[in-house]
Chain A
């Protein structure tokens, strides 16, 4: 019979499995946050300034995705991509789902903050002869991005938490890795707590980073 060892001992044995899971969680979250933010900024700008025919597809995207549970989204990407003839790995499907989710949220955050900028900012930009794109790049976006920072940090931590759903489609991220270790050791409470602690570390780091950036770009 398997002799039960101390938790520290089991942790040492499981270190590589957990480390890989941790890395996978960070990787898919980071990928989704970066790509989703870029998509979200573009979508948010189109929703703010686009003509109706440009806004319509983005509006559909944002409303559809925001109205769908992330879990459903991840499953949909996993099962629908191959059905549509697109061969992607479980990791890619999961990251895609999270990206779409992140993008839809960032889009609304960006739209809100763009609309909150006083109209005079665009007018003053135009008055000195900046083109629309220059006004966006040099005047409006720098202000809007400052504003969205706290909300964006919040969305990012949501993505990290949602990345655990990738365990369902067989991506060995931190939660699934933990479950594999538990299946071997039966140390349920200990390893779940440990996994929770690691997720906390990831999200707390994001929050610290966010606060640091906020301080650096804060306006007097």
Chain B
């Protein structure tokens, strides 16, 4: 399983890296798709005014990335805890079964 998963993860990393080696025109290379959609809305309906704005906006790019990191970090931490716990349990079980058969 470990080998198979390593190949899958490697494939995911390669897929995510390919665009970095491509060249693109325009000033907003690797901008967010959400922002591009916003621009497209303004092109289709130049008169459209958003009628509600975010109640709180992260005061800087740094704070925004802090919160995104926090989101990813909390998720990864919990996921890692879960997998580690179950792996340890499975190992313990196998060891106990191994002892019993002697």
User: Are A and B subunits of one complex?
Assistant: no
A interface residues with partner B (beta carbon < 8 Å):
none
By a beta-carbon cutoff of 8 Å, the part of chain B in contact with chain A is: none
